[in-house]
Amino acid sequence: MKVLITGGRGTIGSKLGPALEGDYELRLLSRQEMEGDDWWQVDVTDIEAVHEAMAGMDAVIHLAIATGHEGDYEDDAFNSQRLDINVKGTYNVFEAARRAGVKRVIYTSSLTVVWGYTAPDWVDGDAPARPVGTYALTKQMGEQIGHYYATVHGLSVLCLRIPKPIDVDEPETKETPILPQWIAFPDLIEAYRLGLTADKIGYEVVTVVGESSKRRWDLSRAEAVLGYRAQYRLEEMGYTLREEPEGYDQEGVVWGEVQGRKRGELEIES
What is the CATH classification number for the domain harbouring 127? 3.40.50.720
**Residue 100, domain member (yes or no):** yes
269: confidence class by pLDDT, cuts 50, 70, 90: low
Given the residues 91, 107, 135, 239, the one annotated as active site: 135
Q: How far apart are CA 200 and CA 187, in angstroms?
A: 22
Q: Does the pLDDT of residue 131 top 60, yes or no?
A: yes
Structural domain of 178: 2-264
247: confidence class by pLDDT, cuts 50, 70, 90: low
Q: Does the pLDDT of residue 211 top 90, yes or no?
A: yes
For 53, 80, 155, 244, 256, the CA distances from 266, given in Å and listed in that order, are 25, 11, 31, 25, 16
Q: CB-based contacts of 181: which residues, under 8 Å, 6+ apart?
A: 111, 163, 209, 210, 212, 215, 217, 252
How many Cβ atoms from other residues are within 10 Å of residue 173's Cβ? Answer: 18
Q: Does the pLDDT of residue 222 top 50, yes or no?
A: yes
This model's pTM is above 0.95: no
**Residue 151, domain member (yes or no):** yes
What's the pLDDT at 132? 87
DSSP state letters, 216-268: -B--HHIIIII-------GGGTT--B-PPPSSB-TTSPBTT--TTPPTT-EEE
**Residue 174, domain member (yes or no):** yes
**Residue 235, domain member (yes or no):** yes
What's the pLDDT at 70? 45
**Residue 55, domain member (yes or no):** yes
Q: Does the pLDDT of residue 187 top 50, yes or no?
A: yes
**Residue 269, domain member (yes or no):** no
Residue 91 annotated as catalytic: no
Number of domains in the chain: 1
What's the pLDDT at 254? 38
Q: Which of 233, 254, 234 is nearest to 245 (CA)?
A: 254
**Ramachandran region, residue 164 (left: φ > 0; alpha: ψ -120 to 50; beta: rest):** beta
The residue among 157 and 31 whose pLDDT is bigger is 157
Q: Does the pLDDT of residue 251 top 70, yes or no?
A: no
What's the pLDDT at 8? 95
The helix/strand/coil state of 30 is strand
250: confidence class by pLDDT, cuts 50, 70, 90: very low
What's the pLDDT at 255? 34
**Residue 77, domain member (yes or no):** yes
**Residue 270, domain member (yes or no):** no
